[in-house]
Amino acid sequence: MKIGFMLPMFGVMATHENMIRMAHFAEDKGFESVWSPDHIVMPTKIETPYPYTKSADYIADPKGAHLEPFTSLAFIAGHTKNVRLGFTVLIAPYRNPIETAKQMASLDVLSNGRLIVGTGAGWLNEEFEALNLSPKQKWPRTDEYIRIWKELWTAEEPHFEGDYFSFSNVQCRPQPLQKPHPPITIGGNGNSCFRRVVNLADGWQVVSEGPDFTYSKGGNLESSLAVLHKMSEENGRDPKTIEITVVVIAGTPEGVIRDIPRYEELGVTRLILDFPSFVSDIQEMEDMLNVIASGTPLNN
Protein backbone atom coordinates (compact mmCIF):
# COMPACT_ATOMS: atom_id res chain seq x y z
CA MET A 1 0.00 0.00 0.00
CA LYS A 2 1.30 3.45 -0.93
CA ILE A 3 0.66 5.88 1.91
CA GLY A 4 0.85 9.65 1.87
CA PHE A 5 -0.47 12.42 4.05
CA MET A 6 -1.90 15.91 3.83
CA LEU A 7 0.55 18.68 4.58
CA PRO A 8 -0.25 21.10 7.46
CA MET A 9 -1.89 23.65 5.16
CA PHE A 10 -4.67 24.98 7.42
CA GLY A 11 -4.93 27.20 10.45
CA VAL A 12 -2.21 27.58 13.08
CA MET A 13 -0.34 24.57 11.65
CA ALA A 14 0.29 26.34 8.32
CA THR A 15 3.79 27.71 8.95
CA HIS A 16 7.16 27.71 7.21
CA GLU A 17 8.72 25.57 9.92
CA ASN A 18 5.93 23.01 10.04
CA MET A 19 5.84 22.52 6.28
CA ILE A 20 9.59 21.86 6.15
CA ARG A 21 9.43 19.59 9.19
CA MET A 22 6.69 17.41 7.72
CA ALA A 23 8.35 17.28 4.31
CA HIS A 24 11.55 15.97 5.89
CA PHE A 25 9.54 13.60 8.07
CA ALA A 26 7.83 12.14 5.01
CA GLU A 27 11.17 11.40 3.36
CA ASP A 28 12.84 10.11 6.51
CA LYS A 29 10.00 7.70 7.27
CA GLY A 30 9.46 6.51 3.70
CA PHE A 31 5.99 7.90 2.98
CA GLU A 32 5.15 7.79 -0.72
CA SER A 33 3.63 11.24 -1.06
CA VAL A 34 2.57 14.54 0.50
CA TRP A 35 -0.56 16.40 -0.58
CA SER A 36 -2.04 19.85 -0.83
CA PRO A 37 -5.72 20.89 -0.88
CA ASP A 38 -6.91 23.89 -2.86
CA HIS A 39 -8.67 27.05 -1.76
CA ILE A 40 -7.98 30.52 -3.14
CA VAL A 41 -10.32 32.48 -0.89
CA MET A 42 -12.50 31.19 1.94
CA PRO A 43 -15.96 32.67 2.44
CA THR A 44 -16.52 33.51 6.09
CA LYS A 45 -20.16 32.42 5.75
CA ILE A 46 -20.64 29.02 4.13
CA GLU A 47 -24.11 27.80 3.23
CA THR A 48 -23.06 25.20 0.65
CA PRO A 49 -23.30 21.74 2.24
CA TYR A 50 -19.87 20.18 2.66
CA PRO A 51 -19.95 16.82 0.86
CA TYR A 52 -17.42 15.05 3.09
CA THR A 53 -18.92 15.09 6.57
CA LYS A 54 -22.09 13.42 7.81
CA SER A 55 -23.24 16.76 9.25
CA ALA A 56 -22.50 18.62 5.97
CA ASP A 57 -20.47 21.16 7.98
CA TYR A 58 -17.04 22.26 6.74
CA ILE A 59 -14.34 20.78 8.95
CA ALA A 60 -11.75 23.60 8.88
CA ASP A 61 -12.01 27.12 10.26
CA PRO A 62 -12.99 29.28 7.27
CA LYS A 63 -11.30 32.26 8.93
CA GLY A 64 -8.00 30.44 9.39
CA ALA A 65 -4.99 30.28 7.09
CA HIS A 66 -5.18 28.24 3.88
CA LEU A 67 -1.85 28.03 2.05
CA GLU A 68 -1.90 28.17 -1.76
CA PRO A 69 -1.20 24.78 -3.41
CA PHE A 70 1.20 25.59 -6.26
CA THR A 71 3.42 27.73 -4.06
CA SER A 72 3.33 25.12 -1.31
CA LEU A 73 4.22 22.12 -3.47
CA ALA A 74 7.00 24.05 -5.21
CA PHE A 75 8.36 24.99 -1.77
CA ILE A 76 8.23 21.35 -0.65
CA ALA A 77 9.86 20.19 -3.88
CA GLY A 78 12.87 22.33 -3.05
CA HIS A 79 13.22 20.71 0.37
CA THR A 80 12.85 17.07 -0.74
CA LYS A 81 14.28 14.60 -3.24
CA ASN A 82 12.07 11.53 -3.38
CA VAL A 83 8.60 12.03 -1.92
CA ARG A 84 5.86 12.52 -4.50
CA LEU A 85 3.85 15.77 -4.56
CA GLY A 86 0.11 15.76 -5.11
CA PHE A 87 -3.01 17.90 -5.21
CA THR A 88 -6.10 16.60 -3.47
CA VAL A 89 -7.71 18.10 -5.26
CA LEU A 90 -6.84 20.99 -7.54
CA ILE A 91 -10.09 22.75 -8.44
CA ALA A 92 -9.71 22.91 -12.21
CA PRO A 93 -12.32 25.61 -13.00
CA TYR A 94 -10.72 28.16 -10.67
CA ARG A 95 -7.81 28.96 -13.01
CA ASN A 96 -6.87 29.52 -16.63
CA PRO A 97 -6.09 25.99 -17.87
CA ILE A 98 -3.21 27.06 -20.11
CA GLU A 99 -1.47 28.81 -17.26
CA THR A 100 -2.20 25.87 -14.96
CA ALA A 101 -0.73 23.42 -17.46
CA LYS A 102 2.43 25.52 -17.55
CA GLN A 103 2.68 25.64 -13.76
CA MET A 104 2.21 21.90 -13.38
CA ALA A 105 4.70 21.07 -16.13
CA SER A 106 7.25 23.34 -14.47
CA LEU A 107 6.58 21.74 -11.10
CA ASP A 108 7.06 18.26 -12.58
CA VAL A 109 10.35 19.30 -14.19
CA LEU A 110 11.73 21.06 -11.12
CA SER A 111 10.72 18.19 -8.81
CA ASN A 112 12.35 15.68 -11.18
CA GLY A 113 9.07 14.02 -12.15
CA ARG A 114 7.27 13.74 -8.81
CA LEU A 115 3.92 15.43 -9.47
CA ILE A 116 0.52 13.72 -9.09
CA VAL A 117 -2.39 15.76 -10.47
CA GLY A 118 -5.44 15.14 -8.34
CA THR A 119 -8.21 17.30 -9.71
CA GLY A 120 -11.92 17.94 -9.44
CA ALA A 121 -14.66 20.48 -10.00
CA GLY A 122 -15.02 21.86 -6.48
CA TRP A 123 -17.95 22.09 -4.08
CA LEU A 124 -17.97 25.55 -2.49
CA ASN A 125 -20.45 27.77 -4.34
CA GLU A 126 -19.51 30.87 -2.34
CA GLU A 127 -15.88 30.52 -3.43
CA PHE A 128 -16.93 30.23 -7.08
CA GLU A 129 -18.99 33.39 -6.70
CA ALA A 130 -16.09 35.27 -5.08
CA LEU A 131 -13.92 34.30 -8.07
CA ASN A 132 -16.64 35.50 -10.47
CA LEU A 133 -17.23 31.98 -11.78
CA SER A 134 -20.40 30.00 -12.28
CA PRO A 135 -20.59 26.72 -10.36
CA LYS A 136 -23.08 25.51 -12.98
CA GLN A 137 -20.23 25.26 -15.51
CA LYS A 138 -17.75 23.57 -13.20
CA TRP A 139 -17.83 20.02 -14.61
CA PRO A 140 -17.91 20.97 -18.32
CA ARG A 141 -14.97 23.28 -17.67
CA THR A 142 -13.12 20.61 -15.71
CA ASP A 143 -13.51 18.11 -18.56
CA GLU A 144 -12.23 20.61 -21.12
CA TYR A 145 -9.38 21.81 -18.93
CA ILE A 146 -8.07 18.28 -18.41
CA ARG A 147 -8.05 17.79 -22.18
CA ILE A 148 -6.19 21.09 -22.58
CA TRP A 149 -3.55 20.03 -20.05
CA LYS A 150 -2.96 16.75 -21.84
CA GLU A 151 -2.74 18.44 -25.23
CA LEU A 152 -0.18 20.98 -24.02
CA TRP A 153 1.81 18.32 -22.17
CA THR A 154 2.04 15.82 -25.02
CA ALA A 155 1.59 17.41 -28.45
CA GLU A 156 4.54 18.60 -30.51
CA GLU A 157 2.36 21.39 -31.92
CA PRO A 158 -0.58 21.84 -29.53
CA HIS A 159 -3.95 22.56 -31.09
CA PHE A 160 -7.30 22.72 -29.32
CA GLU A 161 -10.86 23.76 -30.17
CA GLY A 162 -13.19 23.81 -27.18
CA ASP A 163 -16.23 25.50 -25.75
CA TYR A 164 -14.18 27.73 -23.45
CA PHE A 165 -10.67 27.85 -24.96
CA SER A 166 -9.16 27.43 -28.39
CA PHE A 167 -5.54 27.73 -29.50
CA SER A 168 -3.08 26.76 -32.19
CA ASN A 169 0.41 27.74 -33.36
CA VAL A 170 1.72 27.76 -29.79
CA GLN A 171 4.21 25.89 -27.66
CA CYS A 172 4.05 25.39 -23.92
CA ARG A 173 7.53 24.30 -22.88
CA PRO A 174 8.90 22.57 -20.97
CA GLN A 175 6.60 19.59 -21.11
CA PRO A 176 6.50 17.36 -18.00
CA LEU A 177 9.25 14.85 -17.35
CA GLN A 178 6.71 12.09 -16.69
CA LYS A 179 5.47 10.52 -19.90
CA PRO A 180 3.00 10.81 -21.38
CA HIS A 181 2.17 13.19 -18.52
CA PRO A 182 1.89 13.27 -14.71
CA PRO A 183 -0.79 10.87 -13.49
CA ILE A 184 -4.24 12.47 -13.30
CA THR A 185 -6.72 11.33 -10.67
CA ILE A 186 -10.25 12.71 -10.50
CA GLY A 187 -12.00 13.23 -7.19
CA GLY A 188 -15.76 12.86 -6.92
CA ASN A 189 -18.47 10.24 -6.87
CA GLY A 190 -21.32 8.83 -8.89
CA ASN A 191 -21.68 7.62 -12.46
CA SER A 192 -20.83 10.95 -14.07
CA CYS A 193 -17.55 11.05 -12.18
CA PHE A 194 -16.80 7.46 -13.13
CA ARG A 195 -17.31 8.23 -16.82
CA ARG A 196 -14.79 11.03 -16.51
CA VAL A 197 -12.30 8.77 -14.76
CA VAL A 198 -12.66 6.11 -17.45
CA ASN A 199 -12.34 8.58 -20.33
CA LEU A 200 -9.88 11.17 -19.02
CA ALA A 201 -7.90 10.00 -16.00
CA ASP A 202 -5.41 7.54 -14.59
CA GLY A 203 -7.19 7.12 -11.28
CA TRP A 204 -10.07 7.89 -8.94
CA GLN A 205 -9.85 9.69 -5.58
CA VAL A 206 -12.58 9.06 -3.02
CA VAL A 207 -13.01 10.43 0.50
CA SER A 208 -13.51 7.90 3.27
CA GLU A 209 -13.94 7.49 7.00
CA GLY A 210 -12.96 3.83 6.66
CA PRO A 211 -13.35 0.96 4.19
CA ASP A 212 -16.99 0.50 5.23
CA PHE A 213 -18.02 4.15 4.83
CA THR A 214 -16.97 6.31 1.91
CA TYR A 215 -18.43 9.50 0.50
CA SER A 216 -19.38 7.80 -2.72
CA LYS A 217 -22.60 6.54 -4.26
CA GLY A 218 -24.46 4.66 -1.56
CA GLY A 219 -21.60 5.19 0.89
CA ASN A 220 -20.12 1.83 -0.02
CA LEU A 221 -16.66 1.57 -1.55
CA GLU A 222 -17.06 -2.01 -2.73
CA SER A 223 -20.25 -1.33 -4.69
CA SER A 224 -18.85 1.92 -6.09
CA LEU A 225 -15.76 0.14 -7.36
CA ALA A 226 -17.95 -2.53 -8.94
CA VAL A 227 -19.78 0.19 -10.89
CA LEU A 228 -16.51 1.85 -11.91
CA HIS A 229 -15.01 -1.45 -13.07
CA LYS A 230 -18.13 -2.40 -15.04
CA MET A 231 -18.18 1.00 -16.73
CA SER A 232 -14.49 0.66 -17.55
CA GLU A 233 -14.96 -2.74 -19.16
CA GLU A 234 -17.95 -1.51 -21.16
CA ASN A 235 -15.72 1.22 -22.58
CA GLY A 236 -12.90 -1.16 -23.48
CA ARG A 237 -10.59 -0.19 -20.64
CA ASP A 238 -8.91 -2.58 -18.24
CA PRO A 239 -10.08 -1.67 -14.71
CA LYS A 240 -6.61 -2.49 -13.43
CA THR A 241 -5.30 0.61 -15.25
CA ILE A 242 -7.36 2.83 -12.92
CA GLU A 243 -5.52 3.56 -9.67
CA ILE A 244 -7.74 3.88 -6.60
CA THR A 245 -6.75 6.48 -4.01
CA VAL A 246 -8.65 6.86 -0.74
CA VAL A 247 -8.45 10.08 1.28
CA VAL A 248 -8.96 9.10 4.93
CA ILE A 249 -10.51 12.02 6.84
CA ALA A 250 -11.31 10.37 10.17
CA GLY A 251 -10.01 7.67 12.47
CA THR A 252 -6.88 6.78 14.40
CA PRO A 253 -3.44 5.54 13.39
CA GLU A 254 -4.24 2.13 14.86
CA GLY A 255 -7.49 2.06 12.91
CA VAL A 256 -5.68 2.81 9.67
CA ILE A 257 -3.26 -0.05 10.27
CA ARG A 258 -6.19 -2.35 11.00
CA ASP A 259 -8.07 -1.23 7.86
CA ILE A 260 -5.23 -1.57 5.34
CA PRO A 261 -5.84 -5.28 4.53
CA ARG A 262 -9.49 -4.52 3.74
CA TYR A 263 -8.55 -1.59 1.52
CA GLU A 264 -6.06 -3.81 -0.31
CA GLU A 265 -8.70 -6.51 -0.72
CA LEU A 266 -10.96 -3.95 -2.39
CA GLY A 267 -8.21 -2.88 -4.81
CA VAL A 268 -7.14 0.40 -3.20
CA THR A 269 -3.47 1.13 -3.90
CA ARG A 270 -2.96 4.46 -2.09
CA LEU A 271 -4.14 6.07 1.13
CA ILE A 272 -3.88 9.81 1.79
CA LEU A 273 -4.10 10.44 5.53
CA ASP A 274 -5.96 13.69 6.09
CA PHE A 275 -7.07 13.48 9.72
CA PRO A 276 -3.58 14.01 11.26
CA SER A 277 -3.36 17.45 9.63
CA PHE A 278 -6.36 18.72 11.61
CA VAL A 279 -4.68 18.61 14.98
CA SER A 280 -3.26 21.87 16.35
CA ASP A 281 0.18 20.65 17.38
CA ILE A 282 2.88 19.55 14.93
CA GLN A 283 4.34 17.02 17.38
CA GLU A 284 0.93 15.38 17.72
CA MET A 285 0.65 15.14 13.94
CA GLU A 286 4.11 13.65 13.70
CA ASP A 287 3.39 11.15 16.48
CA MET A 288 0.23 9.95 14.74
CA LEU A 289 2.00 9.43 11.44
CA ASN A 290 4.94 7.76 13.16
CA VAL A 291 2.61 5.07 14.54
CA ILE A 292 1.55 4.27 10.98
CA ALA A 293 5.09 4.37 9.62
CA SER A 294 6.23 2.03 12.39
CA GLY A 295 3.30 -0.37 12.10
CA THR A 296 2.93 -0.67 8.33
CA PRO A 297 5.37 -1.58 5.55
CA LEU A 298 5.35 1.58 3.42
CA ASN A 299 5.31 0.69 -0.26
CA ASN A 300 6.74 3.42 -2.45
- In tens, the pLDDT along 143-155 reads 999 999 999 999 9
- In tens, the pLDDT along 212-250 reads 999 987 789 999 999 999 999 999 999 999 999 999 999
Nearest to 273 by CA among 13, 19, 33: 33
**Cis before 158 (ω within 30):** no
CATH class of 2-295: alpha beta
DSSP conformational letter for 267: T
The answer to whether residue 262 scores a pLDDT higher than 80 is yes
The pLDDT of residue 158 is 97
- In tens, the pLDDT along 77-122 reads 999 999 999 999 999 999 999 999 999 999 999 999 999 999 999 9
**% of the chain with per-residue pLDDT over 70:** 99
- Quote the CA–CA distance of 118 and 90 in Å, as a whole number: 6
| pTM of the full structure | 0.96
Q: Is 31 exposed, middle or buried (0-12, 13-18, 19+ CB in 10 A)?
A: buried
- Quote the CA–CA distance of 124 and 131 in Å, as a whole number: 11
- In tens, the pLDDT along 161-218 reads 999 999 999 999 999 999 999 999 999 988 999 999 999 999 999 999 999 999 987 7
- Indicate the domain borders of the chain: 2-295
- Quote the CA–CA distance of 85 and 201 in Å, as a whole number: 17
300 pLDDT band (50/70/90 cuts)? low
